[in-house]
Amino acid sequence: MTIVRVLLVDDSDVFLEAAVSVVTKTDGFELVGTATSGEEAVALAATLGPDLVLMDHRMPGLSGLDAALRIREENPNTVVTIVSADSGSQLRDVDFPVLSKKEFNPTRLLELWREAATGR
Amino acid sequence: MTSVAEAEGVGAVDRGRGVRIVLSGRYVFRLAVLVGLYYGSARLGYALEFSGPVAAIVWLPVGVAVAGLSLYGLELLPGALVGDLLANQYTTVPLGAAIGQTIGNMLEVVVAALLIRRLLLRGSPLRSIRGVGQLLGALALGTLISAVVGPLSLALAGVVSTDSLVKVARTWWLGDLCGALLLVPLAIAWHPFPGRFLSRRAALEGAVLIAIAASLAELAVHTHDPLTYLTFPALIWAAVRFGERGATLVVAVIASIVIWGTTHYEGPFAFRSITHSVLSTQLFIAVAAVSSLCLAALVAEREAFAGRLGETRAQLFRAAETERNRIERDLHDGAQQHLLALAVRMNLSAERADGSDGWYSAAFSDAERDLHVALDELRDLTHGMHPSVLTELGLADTVRTIAARSSIPVTILELPTSRRDERSEATAYFVVMEGIANAMRHSRAGAISIRVKNGSNVLRVEVADDGIGGAVEQAGSGLAGLRARVEAAGGTFSVSSAAGAGTRISAVIPTAA
């Protein structure tokens, strides 16, 4: 089984910490890095080349959506998912998979990855 | 190259060999106009017999000169001087007395103009009661000088007897004061001449007003009954509806007709005694002018106050909005993230506990469910504070989102297809949100309909329900808060809610260009 290398991005340290626990406890996932801003995420994605980026939606500076677009442009093979504290319905027009923070658990992460992998 | 002096119209330029006056074309033109108007108004006074035995009922040249020098500078004094020297009646008044009169007239003009120029530095004196008071003081003081110097010159030359000196001085003073009262405020109010400042409707109203004022004044002077007070409603109408411009113009129209009537032995002020006629006419003009100016100033003060109040209210709302934004951000970045992290950990723990005692797993799941309820409430609270979703989604999608959450079925009749500025969208959003919340709380309605429509430079919002109606805007209620919010954004707000006929709230919100 191939290991999914994950980059986690969130400007909230509290949520980032909880998210780290979820990713490290998800079978087949490996956390390769964390970033607390859109800019840092773009730089890290370029050097680490992750398979999956879990990107917080609302961040000061470069927004999650803008950072996601840039990462996808530079690394077409990377799956970028937007993670939102608000309800998912508000991001329905976004051209990225969306994950609500309330559903941030190993089961949903695996589902999301499977959907993305088959979609490609 | 144009020198500063030339740009100012006239100036003293030191060339080392003395001071030379630099004359610009504009200055010469203004000087010529002043000479013409001064001389013309004096001749008009003589021709229309606007004069009593010695002094005029209304001496318009003083108004012409004070207005000219006040608005365009004291350097126009030579224009007034030439006009005065040309207008003097050298055949009836000895040269010495005529020169004495001229000196008095020039002193009068200079003193009044100097004082008024100081007032004008602070803006139009006609827009406050204090300003009107100071203007009247300046005119009274200036004209008093001429009323002392002029009659004294005539007495010294033996043209008037010392017995009648006081009476002549009084007529002189009131005549000059009336001339100044008619023309100086008129000039200040209409200078610079405004371009299109009235709507078609207001222009029509203005024309009707002037026609009615003139008719009332005509009626008053064609009867010996004391009907002059009939003109006062027109004066009040002018001051209230058209401010200082209307007041000064209508006073001038009415005064012209009344003076004409009196000097042609018509109207309520035409008495056998000329002195009596003159005094009555002068007092009428002074009272009409002063009352109208005060009323117009009061109206202007009230309008300025209302404007400042509106601005303060808008500022207050902006400050409150900024504060709401800050709290929303703090809640989103702080409490909400902590609760979300907790929910994530609960979920993880519930999954881990799955293999062990079922009780633990159920307890974690219950706790996680409660947390989700708390998070939903927190989200609703923050959205009520400031709709950050609005910035991201726009008004149409946000309205769809809140409509979908309503417990009463919502029909969306119309939504805007293009974005508007953030402030008007936020105000429209709150109307929709509060409208739905209000219907859910009080209306017992079975259906709600929403219409948000893009107009030219406005957003029209309508939220209607088919409930029990009877909603009233009480102080502190959601509806009253909504009205305050819409009006602070410069919009209009209305509620129609007859008992049994449902409730319809409508708002028209101006949008930024």
What single letter denotes the amino acid at residue B32?
A: A
Q: Does the structure show a pLDDT above 70 at B383? A: no
Q: What is the pTM of this model?
A: 0.66
- Comparison of pLDDT for B504 and B280, the residue scoring more: B504
Examine the pLDDT at A88 and tell me if it is beyond 70.
no
The arithmetic mean of pLDDT across residues B107-129, rounded, is: 95
ipTM of the shown complex: 0.88
Prior bond of B125 cis (ω within 30°): no
B458-465 and A79-84: which strand pairing? unpaired
DSSP B154-214: HHHTTSS-STTHHHHHHHHHHHHHHHHHHHHHHHHHHSSPPSS-S-HHHHHHHHHHHHHHH
B469/chain A closest Cα distance in angstroms: 33
* Res. B11 pLDDT band, cuts 50 70 90: very low
Across the range B180-209, mean pLDDT stands at 90
CB contact under 8 A, A90 and B342: no
Chain B residue whose CA is closest to A22:
B348
The number of C-beta contacts closer than 8 angstroms across A and B is 61
The domains located in chain B, with CATH, are 1-193 (1.10.1760), 196-311 (no CATH), 393-510 (3.30.565.10)
For residue B493, the cross-strand partners are: B507
Minimal Cα distance from B369: which residue of A? A102
The tokens describing B211, both together, are 């026609």
SS3 B20: strand
Cβ separation A86–B379 shorter than 8 A: yes
Instruction: Residue A74: name the closest of A95, A98, A48 by CA.
Output: A48
Asked if A111 has any chain B CB less than 8 Å from its own CB, the reply is: no
Find chain B residues with C-beta within 8 A of A98's C-beta.
none
| Cβ-count burial B114-123 (b if 16+ within 10 Å, e if not) | ebbbebbeee
Is the Cβ of A36 closer than 8 Å to some Cβ of chain B?
A: no
Q: How confident is the model at residue B401 (pLDDT cuts 50, 70, 90)?
A: confident
Q: What is the pLDDT of residues B26-85, one digit of tens each?
A: 899 999 999 999 999 998 877 765 555 556 788 999 999 999 999 999 999 999 999 999
**CB–CB contact B404 A89 (8 Å):** yes
The model's pLDDT over B402-459, given as tens digits with 9 standing for 90+, comes to 888 888 999 999 999 888 888 888 889 989 988 998 898 888 899 999 999 998 889 9
Has residue B278 got a pLDDT over 90? no
Do residue B344 and residue A18 have CB atoms under 8 angstroms apart? yes
Chain A residues whose CB is inside 8 A of the B341 CB are 12, 14-15, 17-19
Q: What domains, with CATH codes, occur in chain A? A: 4-119 (3.40.50.2300)
**Cβ-nearest to B341 among A18, A89, A105:** A18
Residue B7: per-residue pLDDT: 41
Look at residue B482 in the predicted model and tell me its pLDDT. Answer: 86
Query: Considering chain B, what is the average pLDDT of its residues?
Result: 85
B285-334 per-position pLDDT tens digit: 999 999 999 999 999 999 999 999 888 888 887 788 788 878 888 888 88
Nearest to B344 among A19, A58, A87 (CB): A19
Asked if A14 and B345 come within 8 Å (Cβ–Cβ), the reply is no
Task: State mean pLDDT over B22-27.
Answer: 80
Q: Kindly report the nearest CA distance between residue B427 and chain A, in angstroms.
A: 20
| Mean pLDDT for the stretch of residues B348-364 | 78
- pLDDT reading at B472 higher than 60: yes
The stretch A73-99 carries a mean pLDDT of 80
**CB within 8 Å: B340 and A90:** no
CA distance A14 to chain B (A): 6
What per-residue confidence (pLDDT) applies to A119? 67
The C-alpha atoms of residue B42 and residue B105 are separated, in whole angstroms, by 13
Confidence of residue B8 (pLDDT cuts 50, 70, 90): very low
